[in-house]
Amino acid sequence: MKVQLCRLLLISVFFFSGVPASLAQTAQAPTDASKSRPESFEWDRQIELFDEAYNDDNYVEAERFARKSLEIAEQLHLDDAKRATSLSSLGQSLRHQKKYSAAEPLFREALAIREKILPLINFRTAYALEGLAVSLVGQNRPGEAEPYYLRAIAIWDRIDKEEYQSCHHGVVLDGLGRIYFQAGSYEKAEPLYERALDVWTKGKDHCALIRSVMDDLAALYWAQGKIERCGQMYEQTIPLLDQGLGDEQPELIAEQRVKLARVYMAEKKPAEAVSLLQQAIPVLQQGGPSERERLLQSLKNEALLLGDLHRDSEIPRVQGQIDAILGIKAQSVEPMVRWQGLMGLLNRSTDLAQRGELLQQALGEAEKLGPGREQAQTLEIFAAQQMGSNKNEQAEVYLKRALPMNEQVFGSGSVEVAHDYDVLAVVYQVQNKLDQQESSLKQEITFLEKLPKESVRLSIADQTLGDFYFRQKKYPEAERAYLQSFHAAELSPPEVMMVSAAQRLGRLYGTWEKPEQAVTYYTRAVALEKSNPSPLYVGDLQALAQLLRKLNRANEAQQYDQERQQAIDHLMRARATVSPTK
């Protein structure tokens, strides 16, 4: 799926990279005369750069941009709101680097400004209160932090729903709960933790805060001897966590399952604990070096529990994985166990040469097992490695070996087989083997058509085939593929797929000198894009207006020109708006 989405993004950039002149003009370089003194828009740019670095957890870079924004605000005597934003931004970047004493005065000054210029109940004031409280706790001054947490909680309790953010509400509830917990005031900490958990489960913003809340509440229950309540909390919350963040952070859910397994071990429930560990371990194996210790301890617990359950025949498999992680040669272990261990080492290795050696060893063990899932998976990884090294002929060989094995294991109507054809098509495209590329894409589509739940993949594959024909000016064939993509997109939830298909049909008909049909699909595209304007939306409005003028429909064209200008204005305002993370 990653290959398909990356390719779709690249193709979208290739076909829709035009930027209207009115937007491009805003990005002109400053003149020599302006270099000595910054313009006010340079403050906006520094805040944008801060946001990007901050959201990427690059707090050192975020600090640099926040400091620059503060320098500009002071040099140009910008208004108090901008100064408060720069102060708060710098404070946030410092406190995430654990520079709490440096962050404290920044948050105090930002808070004083915001209390002066903003309404009593305002989310930006809550941000400053939260930052100040965290900075004080970081300096071992929890008693001073308590009133700031209480004020932040009061704001989030009363704020309008349009400005409400469940993640920040939960953070301040959890933060105050920790102060009480560490002071031994369990009766005051418990309701705060439980409120934080409730805020998260009912809120729309399912952020990773839930993990710390769950861990804090579990620790509280454990300290109170409420082990059964601790287990119930995990049992109720893990499904919600899986539903809210499972696709984005599967390792987070795996870690919580490991913790629930430990609770079951304490309650003498080995069967339930083993089941959870066996769900979590494959995810932890994909987690890289950061999950090594958790994975190792989970495997050791699994082996121990299997012994308690008298499932001794399964223990060598687990022990083989443990040995592989520890670098112990276990020649007496079965090929399957050695393959699993080598694949676990491969997932944690970042050295290319070492990865190649581990892959070769893993393929040797998989070949001992005969044609099947393990060999196909190893061959696919080998193919990806060869593609990354521009050795596409060798990648083709590996994929052709993997494909029949996946057909045998998963059946002819399977995502796994469709994926192999998709990657093969990419390999053939790089090699300029057009006939084979076309054949592979058609095969992929044939398989996906058998899978009703894979309408998104099918739409992507049809678009890719349509692009293949479009580049060769085979317009009837491209039309057929794009229409199939559009119909498949109508069955899938993400509107972005329907927009992409409509854009391609509009572009095709416009190039093919069929303006009426082009107008039909560009109209569909802009109607879907209107609620979330982007540079692509601006380009589609421009193309639509040009087509309408070609059809002598000037009044309609003028309407879309106005919408285009409104979209440009919206984008420019959005660019200048300060992000509400500070």
Q: Residue 576: give its domain's CATH number.
A: 1.25.40.10
**pTM as predicted:** 0.52
Confidence of residue 235 (pLDDT cuts 50, 70, 90): confident
- Assess if residue 542 is contained within a domain: yes
Write out pLDDT tens, residues 123-134.
999 999 999 999
pLDDT mean across residues, the chain: 84
Is residue 501 one of the residues assigned to a domain? yes
Count structural domains, the chain: 1
Give ∠ CA 411-415-416 in degrees, rounded to 5: 70
pLDDT digits (tens, 9 = 90+) for 387-405: 888 888 998 998 999 988 8
First to last CA, the chain: 35
- Residue 94 domain-assigned (yes or no): no
Q: 235 lies in a domain?
A: no
- Is the pLDDT score of 34 beyond 60? no
Distance CA 392, CA 201 (A): 47
Residues 6+ apart with CB under 8 A from 66: 46, 50, 86, 89, 90, 92, 93
Cα-based distances in Å from 60 to 70, 300, 515, 542: 16, 38, 52, 41
Q: Indicate if the pLDDT at residue 495 is higher than 60.
A: yes
Residue 282 maps to a domain? no
Given a cut of 50, whether residue 262 has pLDDT beyond it is yes
DSSP 385: H
493: confidence class by pLDDT, cuts 50, 70, 90: low
Instruction: Report pLDDT digits (tens) over 36-61.
Output: 566 778 899 899 999 999 988 899 99
Write out pLDDT tens, residues 466-480.
999 999 999 999 999
Lowest mean pLDDT among 22-31, 283-292, 353-362: 22-31
Tell me the pLDDT tens digit for each residue of 416-454: 888 889 999 999 999 999 999 999 999 999 988 888 778
Tokens of 252: 């987070």
Whether the per-residue pLDDT at 17 is higher than 80: the answer is no
Q: Say if 470 falls within a structural domain.
A: yes
pLDDT at 224: 84
Q: Distance between CA atoms of 523 and 529, rounded to whole angstroms?
A: 10
Q: Is residue 127 exposed (0-12), middle (13-18) or buried (19+ Cβ within 10 Å)? A: buried
* Domain extent for 540: 451-582
Q: What is the pLDDT of residue 9?
A: 33
pLDDT: is 158 or 494 the higher one? 158
DSSP 27: G
What's the confidence (pLDDT) of residue 21?
A: 35
In a domain, 259, yes or no: no
Residue 34 lies in a domain: no
